[in-house]
Amino acid sequence: MTRPRFASYRSMVLVACGLIGAGCAHDTYQERANLIKNHADAFYDSLKTNRVESAIRDNEQIEAMASQMGDTVRKRAVQQGTTAVERELALMNTANEAAATNWLALGQYFAIKRQYSKARVTYRRVIDTYTNPTDRQSHGPTIPRTGPALLAGFGHAESARHNNEETVNGGHLLHRSSRMFLSGLLLLGWGCVHRIHVTPAPPAVSPATIPQSLQVIVPLLAMKGADHMPGVALLEWPAQDLRTATIGYIQSRQTFASVGDKPADLTLTVKAWLTMRSRSNYHYSLRLESALGSSEKPAIKSYLVEKETVGSSVRWIAASDQTPIAEAVQAALDDLLMQIEADHLLYRNGPS
């Protein structure tokens, strides 16, 4: 049976608490580690039954514990290296890690419920609060509360039983690994769908109008790359939007006597592929394979256009994708229509 999505979040929290508890000789550390675990259990139990406010209260209790531990660590900074300070710091890191992981689970919960604005606020809280947990002065923006969710059946795996033979050093390793996971997740902007809408405009009117009507068809718009994997539906750009954009562009450019999505003298079929790659910045490659000819007959000529644009290094908002994609569409249509206009004599006779 496939494990529910949130089992990994809960397991990370429980493992961290178990590792810290295993390295604590004094009861006060074990008691507080157990308290973190209890709040984490209550957090996921509340999400299971759609009691979001209760879940938030439990996680805020974990944050409050981390804040108190941070105060203790700062006051004892002169005693760095002592066992007591090291244990307090390890426990504080575990509390911070548990709270951050829980907020991520809550953000995913909101995203599943399609409450995207709340998901964004929740992820933003993690970014603003956990850049440097030891030095933070506040817990960031308020997490949006909500009443009972409309969708039932939200589940999570039962608490895993973990081996407590690991040491506190294992807890630090988990902390670093989890922060790498967290950073990657936030850079991807998980839980936030970027809906793309492009409106390209031609730089000039066509010097040679083709006296035929044109139908534009976009049967395919495929997206692939590091940021459009199964289960990470971050980018939404329907083929209809590209078709509408192409029609509007050609109308403004006046390359044909008329253009639309209804049957006409000529048909322009455009198949599109958008590839995203993450380097130092995000790169967007748009490939258009087009064919133009008389309707219901083999194409007279085919055209290939490929354009690449560079975006930002992170994708916090829809504009992070919207701008480079719009630039790629603009450049691709400019190139495609220039090629078609250069062949205008092929299309002047109309259908035979």
Q: How confident is the model at residue 30 (pLDDT cuts 50, 70, 90)?
A: confident
More confident residue, 96 or 329: 329
Please tell me whether residues 153 and 65 are part of one structural domain. yes
Look at the alpha carbons of 63, 69, 73, 76 in this order and tell me if their dihedral is positive or negative: positive
Domain assignment present for 352: no
SS3 of 50, please?
A: coil
Please tell me whether residues 255 and 156 are part of one structural domain. no
Please tell me whether residues 45 and 115 are part of one structural domain. yes
Domain end marker among 128, 157, 188: 188
How confident is the model at residue 197, as a pLDDT?
94
Percent of the chain whose pLDDT exceeds 90? 37
CATH of the domain at 303: 3.30.160.150
Residue-wise pLDDT for 111-154, tens only, equals 888 888 888 888 888 887 776 544 444 444 555 554 433 333 33
Alpha carbons within 13 A on the beta-carbon side of 5:
16
Domain assignment present for 146: yes
How confident is the model at residue 320, as a pLDDT?
81
Residue 66's domain spans which residues? 7-188
Domain assignment present for 155: yes
Please tell me whether residues 219 and 118 are part of one structural domain. no
Please tell me whether residues 111 and 45 are part of one structural domain. yes
CB 220, CB 347: distance < 8 Å: no
Please tell me whether residues 23 and 165 are part of one structural domain. yes
Residue-wise pLDDT for 219-257, tens only, equals 999 988 755 443 334 678 999 999 999 999 999 999 999
Number of domains in the chain: 2
Domain end marker among 153, 188, 223: 188
Q: Which of 132-141, 264-273, 311-320 has the lowest mean pLDDT?
A: 132-141
Please tell me whether residues 166 and 18 are part of one structural domain. yes
Please tell me whether residues 181 and 204 are part of one structural domain. no
Q: String of b and e for 247-277 (b: at least 16 CB within 10 Å)?
A: bbbbeebbbbeebeeeebbbbbbbbbebbbe
DSSP 61-126: HHHHHHHHHHHHHHHTGGGTTSHHHHHHHHHHHHHHHHHHHHHHHHHHHHHHTT-HHHHHHHHHHH
Start-to-end CA distance of the chain, whole Å, equals 61
Please tell me whether residues 178 and 89 are part of one structural domain. yes
| Residue 26, phi then psi, degrees to nearest 5 | -95, 145
How confident is the model at residue 316, as a pLDDT?
64
Nearest to 331 by CA among 313, 311, 305: 305
Q: How confident is the model at residue 19 (pLDDT cuts 50, 70, 90)?
A: very low
As a whole number of angstroms, the distance between CA 352 and CA 350 comes to 6
Please tell me whether residues 132 and 200 are part of one structural domain. no
Domain end marker among 146, 168, 188: 188
Q: In sequence order, what are the beta bridge partners of 217?
A: 269
pTM over 0.75: no
Please tell me whether residues 260 and 310 are part of one structural domain. yes
Please tell me whether residues 341 and 224 are part of one structural domain. yes
Residue-wise pLDDT for 185-201, tens only, equals 444 444 457 889 999 99
More confident residue, 215 or 182: 215
How confident is the model at residue 31, as a pLDDT?
83
